[in-house]
Amino acid sequence: MKILDINVINFRNIKEKKFEFADTVTYVYGENGSGKTNLLEAIYYLSCGKSFRNVKDSDIRMRETEYFHVDGTVSSDDTKHKIAMGMKSGEKKIILDGKNIKKVSELFGVFIPVVFSPEDTSVINGSPMIRRRFIDRMIASIDNDYIIYLKKYNYALEQRNKLFREAIDNDENLLYAYEKILTENGIIIAERRRETVDKLNEIITDIYFRITGAKDRIFVNYKSEFTDGDRDDLLLRYRNKRGNDKLLKRTSFGVHTDDIQIVINGENSRYFASTGEKKSLVVALRIAESDIYNKIKNEYPVMLLDDIFSELDEKRRRNLLKFFIDKAQVIITSPERYDIGTGVAYINMEQIDG
Amino acid sequence: MNIIDELKEAFKILPGVGNRTAQRFTFYAIKADKESIERLSRLLNEVKEKIHPCKICGNPTTEELCSICSDSDRDHSTVLIVENIEDLYQIETAGKYRGVYHILGGHLAPLENITPEKLRIKELIERVESSKIDEVILALNPNTAGEVTSIYLYDLLKKYKNIKITKPSIGLPYGSTIHYLDNYTIIQGINERKEIKGY
Ligand SMILES: Nc1ncnc2c1ncn2[C@@H]1O[C@H](COP(=O)(O)OP(=O)(O)O)[C@@H](O)[C@H]1O
Ligand SMILES: [Mg+2]
Ligand SMILES: [Zn+2]
């Protein structure tokens, strides 16, 4: 998977600029605030029409402008695609190879970047929702149908919640119909999450060791109410929760309450890991994600390494780069320019008009 | 609001008519000769007065029963359930189906305030209890709302032991709707329908 170039207009502080990337490593430097993370965000945006920073499109558009636009060329297995995306007067436009696309989900799988930003430890510190999203995005990038199961599940969840919220939950047949959809799709979702967590566990301790040199035992603990019990048990459990759900005015049982704990030496990292350990864990998880993707798709996603150099010491930096150099396309940002080898393209963000 | 603006706003209730088109319609109405405007307003009135849902299936008609329900050549013991009139028309256009219909008027979706009593479900149960029906075909749209509605109807109908409950057997793309399907897919789906043995 590669990105060859990107054309960015009115995207945060980038007014209008075309960037080209090397096959191996592109090194983006410039002082803080110059727009390095914004460039990575624009690249990520091209893959899915969303920011990895969890913000609205209106935050992305350059202040005091009417629209923003990104377009770029990506390639996978030597097949090139052109993606263009933009937002004008509240309307989003997505174009793949010259054709208009209605939903971003149709773009899925065309271009897959993985963002490393050790500063962002929300996958450890944040809510279970953020960890579910981490695992779901990972699964969706290797399994095209997964999004459909999630959509069906979430659809049924919202409809069932509405029945309790408005206290119109007296029709048992209707509750049952939604519980059926929740059960059927929840079983598949839990299965996929379980399989993916198992794959993570096969490699995560080793990856962590290779970055940090520390012999810590890392374990990803999938916590779900959906892991035991067959279809009929699960249906019954929804039924038994109806009284409780009526009081809570929402659905309290199901894979939307799953969590994925990252455990270090037997302790939940969310509460017990140091800041440094959390940063290393975040990086290790991203490497594992890329590795799993590679095992299935036979190519690496594009690695977007945001400011990892100032977060990690010299040894960890070199260890991290070793994972990807000569395997994946890497785009690195850093406030200072270091020479890191031959064949590297450099982009100076300070030469960009803002 | 003056009468011109009001007329323009009124035109905007038509599907696919936005500001510009509504404006064109309004100017046309001002310029057009008296007879054609009178004819249009008479027909619009009559359509509301004379057209009503068929007593049995819900299909719009000027009579008590629609042309399908009053056709003695059709098989009245096989009832195909669709969400909307558009779906019925699409299946009729495909041409091979010889049973009768029941129009629900949509699918279940509490978030859009469509609860069971908003659909013609009570009418369906009355129909099943009062006439001789051997088979009900659940031909709801192949999306999650249609699936929920099918499950719901199946659970209501399964106690009528001598009625076979079936659904079209088509590998329909998730999220599609019947009135966008081609004739071949529709005919094949209905011909090769499968019995639902439980949800
Ligand atoms: N919507 C926006 N319009 C204009 N400038 C923005 C917008 N959003 C962020 N910025 C600017 O972008 C800069 C931060 O860019 P960033 O990519 O985070 O820098 P860094 O190079 O440190 O990663 C800040 O100066 C900020 O004011
Ligand atoms: Mg930054
Ligand atoms: Zn009729």
A220 and A314 co-located in one domain? no
Ligand 3 mean position, distance from CA B68 (Å) = 6
A265 and A307 co-located in one domain? no
Nearest to B79 by CA among B197, B193, B198: B193
Q: Are A120 and A282 in contact (CB under 8 A)?
A: yes
For A265, phi and psi rounded to 5 degrees?
45, 45
Is A58 an 8 Å CB contact of chain B?
no
In order of their start, the domains of chain B are 3-50 (1.10.8.420), 60-195 (3.40.1360.10)
A180 and A274 co-located in one domain? yes
ipTM for the complex?
Answer: 0.82
Is A239 an 8 Å CB contact of chain B?
no
E-strand ranges in chain B read 52-53, 60-61, 75-82, 99-103, 135-138, 164-167, 194-195
User: From residue A158, how far is each of A154, A169, B119, B180 by CA, in Å?
Assistant: 6, 13, 20, 27
Closest ligand to residue A39's CA: 1
Instruction: Give the closest residue (by CA) to ligand 1 atom 25.
Output: A33
A20 and A87 co-located in one domain? yes
Instruction: Give the closest residue (by CA) to ligand 1 atom 7.
Output: A12
Ranges in chain A, pLDDT < 50? 354
A78 and A147 co-located in one domain? no
Instruction: Say whether A177 and B151 touch across the interface (CB within 8 A).
Output: yes
Q: Does residue B197 surpass a pLDDT of 90?
A: no
Minimal-distance CA residue of chain B relative to A153: B144
Residue ranges of the alpha helices (H) in chain A?
A: 36-48, 57-60, 122-125, 128-142, 146-165, 172-212, 231-240, 242-248, 269-272, 275-297, 308-311, 314-324
Is B148 an 8 Å CB contact of chain A?
yes
- Give the Cα separation of A300 and A286 in Å (integer): 12
A1 and A75 co-located in one domain? yes
Q: How many CB atoms lie within 10 A of CB A159?
A: 24
A276 and A307 co-located in one domain? no
A36 is in an annotated binding site: yes
Cβ–ligand 1 distance for A12 under 6 Å, the answer yes
A305 and A283 co-located in one domain? no
Q: Which residue has the tokens 């999306």?
A: B143
In single-letter form, the type of residue at position A266 comes to G
- Model confidence at B173, pLDDT cuts 50, 70, 90, reads low
Q: What is the rounded average pLDDT for all residues in chain B?
A: 93
B40 sits in which H/E element: helix B34-50
Q: In the numeric block, which tokens belong to residue A332?
A: 């690195």
Name the domain count of chain A. Answer: 2
The CATH number linked to A310 is 3.40.50.300
Closest ligand to residue A31's CA: 1
Q: In the numeric block, which tokens belong to residue B5?
A: 């603006």
For A128, phi and psi rounded to 5 degrees?
-55, -30
User: From residue A65, how far is each of A10, A60, A93, A318, A351 by CA, in Å?
Assistant: 7, 11, 17, 41, 21
- Cβ burial of B39 (10 Å; 0-12, 13-18, 19+) is exposed
Q: Are A263 and A205 in contact (CB under 8 A)?
A: no
A236 and A170 co-located in one domain? yes
In single-letter form, the type of residue at position A336 comes to E
For A169, phi and psi rounded to 5 degrees?
-100, 25
Minimal-distance CA residue of chain A relative to B198: A180
The CATH number linked to A163 is 1.20.1050.90
Ligand 1 mean position, distance from CA A286 (Å) = 24
Which of A8, A11, A13, A62 has most ligand 1 atoms within 8 Å of CB, for mutation?
A13
Q: What is the pLDDT of residues B110-120, one digit of tens each?
A: 999 999 999 99
- How many helices (H) and strands (E) would you count in chain A? 12, 14
Which of A14, A38, A337 has most ligand 1 atoms within 8 Å of CB, for mutation?
A38
- Cβ burial of A13 (10 Å; 0-12, 13-18, 19+) is middle
Q: Which residue has the tokens 């695992």?
A: A135
Instruction: Give the closest residue (by CA) to ligand 1 atom 12.
Output: A13
Q: Closest ligand 1 atom, CA of A13? A: 5
Output the pLDDT for position B78. Answer: 98
Instruction: Give the structural domain span for A283.
Output: 121-298
Q: Closest ligand 1 atom, CA of A349? A: 21
Instruction: Say whether B116 and A163 touch across the interface (CB within 8 A).
Output: no
A20 is in an annotated binding site: no
Cβ–ligand 1 distance for A13 under 6 Å, the answer yes
Cβ–ligand 1 distance for A33 under 6 Å, the answer yes
Is A250 an 8 Å CB contact of chain B?
no
A14 and A88 co-located in one domain? yes
Domain boundary among A298, A323, A345: A298
User: From residue A62, how far is each of A8, A9, A57 by CA, in Å?
Assistant: 11, 9, 10
A37 is in an annotated binding site: yes
Chain B residues whose CB is inside 8 A of the A155 CB are 144-145
Q: Are B167 and B137 in contact (CB under 8 A)?
A: yes
A150 and A266 co-located in one domain? yes
A146 and A98 co-located in one domain? no
* Min Cα separation B122/chain A (Å): 14
In this complex, which of A162, A166, A177 lies closest to B148 when CB atoms are compared?
A: A177
Domain boundary among A253, A268, A298: A298
Could you report how far apart the first and last alpha carbons of chain B are, in Å? 54
Helix axes of A146-165 and A172-212: crossing angle, nearest 10 degrees: 130
Instruction: Say whether B111 and A178 touch across the interface (CB within 8 A).
Output: no
Q: How many CB atoms lie within 10 A of CB A56?
A: 9
Q: How many CB atoms lie within 10 A of CB A72?
A: 24
Length of chain B: 199
Residue predicted with more confidence, B190 or A326: B190
Is B142 an 8 Å CB contact of chain A?
no
In this complex, which of A166, A171, A181 lies closest to B148 when CB atoms are compared?
A: A181
Output the pLDDT for position A354. Answer: 47
Q: Are B120 and B104 in contact (CB under 8 A)?
A: yes
Domain boundary among A276, A298, A320: A298
Is B180 an 8 Å CB contact of chain A?
no
Instruction: Say whether A151 and B152 touch across the interface (CB within 8 A).
Output: no
Instruction: Say whether A176 and B110 touch across the interface (CB within 8 A).
Output: no
